[in-house]
Amino acid sequence: MPTNSTEKFAIEHIAIHGHQIGFRRGGQGPVLLLLHGIAGSSLTWVPAMRLLEGDYTMLAPDFLGHGTSEKPLGDYSLGNLATVMRDFLSLLGIDRATVVGQSFGGGVAMQFAYQFPERCERLVLVDAGGLGREVSWILRLATLPGAEYVMPVLFPEFVGNWGDAVVKFFGGRGFRHAEAVEMWRSYRSLTEGESRRAFVRTVRSVIDPGGQSVSAADRLYLSAHMPTLIVWGDHDRIIPLRHAHLAHEAIPNSRLEVMEGVGHYPHVEEPARFVRVRVGLGVVRWSPDESQILVKRAPEKKSGDIVAFSVPALTVPAPGRSIPVLEPTLNPVLHSLTFRNFAFSPDGKYLAVVAPGKRNLQLFPYTR
C-alpha cells in the first residue's frame, strides 16, 4: 500500500526474494518500466511521469541498494538487477514492457533486453552507461581501494541538511538548477551508511579506476529487431555524447535524439522536451495498397521525414485498435502528398486517426 497518500506517485513496496523493493506507479495504458541511475531513485522519474500518466502505465522501481528499497549485502551486478526487474514485472502480472533506462539504469535496461527479449517490447536508452569506456572521474574514484573508508569523511551525515547551499554550489559551476538538484539527491543519499556501502558495490560491478568495465557494445547488433530509441543530452559531463552515436551506429534501425543544452538528466532538466521526443508524430496517409500507414513527423511542413508503419490484419473489432508507432521505417522525403489528422483506407472500410499528443495510431472500422 502507498506509504504517503499526499504524494502524487506514492511509494509502494513489494517483496522480491525476501527483500522489500520500493516503487512508484501511475497512469493507464501500455507499460513503461522506468529505471534510474546509480545513487538515484524512482523520484527522478516523477517530472516525466506527471506528463505521461494520461497515456501509459508507468512503473518506476528503486533498485536494490537505492532509494526506499532494502540495501542488503549481495549481488549488485547488471545481470542480477535485470533478473529482479523481470521478477518485479511478473509479480505485478505484467508480461511485456517498454524499458526506459537512464545512466546505470540504461545498462540494466540493455541487460534486461539481452536476457529477456520476450519481455522487452521496446528499449529506450537515456544517457546510458555500458556503451563505452569513458565515464566521470568522480565515479572512477569510488572504485579505488579503500574508497569505502574515505567516503564517510566526504559524505558526513550532517551535510544532509545543506540542500540549498549544495544546489547553489553546483549551480555556480555551470550546472542547471534541475541538474544540480538531481546531483544533490545522489550526494545526499550517500550520507547514509547503508546507501554508501551499496553504492560502492554497485559502482565496482560496472566501473574500475580506468573507466566503465562492462560494455554492451559487442552485443548491440542483437537489438536489430527491437525498436530502440537513444536520447542524450549534448552537455552530459558524466558519459560523453560520443557513446550515443556509437550505439546508434551499432543498433540497426535505432533512432537517436540529441537534446541540445541538456546534461546527464534530460528527463529531469527538460521533462516536457524529453516527453516530446516520443510524443506527437503528426498527420497520416494510407499507402495505396493498404499495407502501411504513412505518418509525417513535421505536419507544419510541406515536405519532411515520412515514417511508415505496417498495418496489422484488418480484422478490427469495435471500437478500434491501437497501433504502436515506435517501429518506423524511414522513407525519403516525399512531396505533393496530402496528410490529414485522419485518413480513410482506400477501400473506405477503415479510419486511421492520430489523436493530438498521443503516441499511437487508432484504427477504426468505418461503416457508411
Same domain, 27 and 142: yes
Same domain, 254 and 335: no
The confidence score (pLDDT) of residue 80 equals 95
In a domain, 1, yes or no: no
The confidence score (pLDDT) of residue 89 equals 97
Same domain, 126 and 194: yes
The residue out of 218, 241, 276 marking a domain boundary is 276
Same domain, 63 and 167: yes
In a domain, 102, yes or no: yes
**pLDDT-derived band at 45, boundaries 50, 70, 90:** very high
Same domain, 263 and 294: no
The residue out of 242, 276, 310 marking a domain boundary is 276
> How far is CA 211 from its chain centroid?
23
- How far apart CA 308 and CA 316 sit, in angstroms, is 20
Same domain, 159 and 236: yes
Flag whether pLDDT at 278 surpasses 60. Answer: no
Flag whether pLDDT at 330 surpasses 50. Answer: no
Our answer to whether residue 62 is catalytic in this structure is: no
The confidence score (pLDDT) of residue 222 equals 83
Write the DSSP symbol of residue 313. P
The confidence score (pLDDT) of residue 138 equals 83
Distance from the first to the final alpha carbon of the chain: 49
The confidence score (pLDDT) of residue 54 equals 80
In a domain, 2, yes or no: no
In a domain, 299, yes or no: yes
Residues 6+ apart with CB under 8 A from 294: 284, 285, 286, 287, 306, 307, 308, 331, 334, 337, 339
The residue among 86, 89, 87 whose CA lies nearest residue 59 is 89
Our answer to whether residue 66 is catalytic in this structure is: no
Flag whether pLDDT at 279 surpasses 50. Answer: no
In a domain, 6, yes or no: no
Average pLDDT over residues 11-21: 95
The confidence score (pLDDT) of residue 307 equals 59
Distances (CA, A) of 203 to 1, 74, 244, 271, 368: 31, 13, 21, 27, 62
Same domain, 302 and 177: no
Same domain, 93 and 108: yes
The confidence score (pLDDT) of residue 176 equals 53
Same domain, 180 and 316: no
**pLDDT-derived band at 343, boundaries 50, 70, 90:** low
Same domain, 30 and 101: yes
In a domain, 4, yes or no: no
Same domain, 92 and 147: yes
Lowest mean pLDDT, pick from 46-60, 148-162, 208-222: 148-162
Can you give the residue range of the structural domain that contains 38? 12-276
The residue out of 225, 246, 276 marking a domain boundary is 276
Our answer to whether residue 245 is catalytic in this structure is: no
Flag whether pLDDT at 300 surpasses 60. Answer: no
In a domain, 94, yes or no: yes
Flag whether pLDDT at 197 surpasses 70. Answer: yes
Pick the catalytic residue from 236, 243, 254, 267.
236
- For the chain, the average pLDDT equals 77
Return the higher-pLDDT residue of 178 and 197: 197
Pick the catalytic residue from 103, 186, 195, 254.
103
Q: Which DSSP string corresponds to 134-195?
A: ---HHHHHTTSTTHHHHHHHHS-GGGGG-HHHHHHHHHTTT--HHHHHHHHHHHHHTTSHHH
Count of domains forming the chain: 2
306: left (phi over 0), alpha (psi -120 to 50) or beta: beta
pLDDT digits (tens, 9 = 90+) for 137-186: 888 988 888 877 676 655 555 554 544 454 444 444 445 556 666 765 66
Same domain, 216 and 289: no
- How far apart CA 361 and CA 230 sit, in angstroms, is 22
pLDDT digits (tens, 9 = 90+) for 57-110: 999 999 999 999 999 988 999 999 999 999 999 999 999 999 999 999 999 999
CATH number at residue 180: 3.40.50.1820
In a domain, 78, yes or no: yes
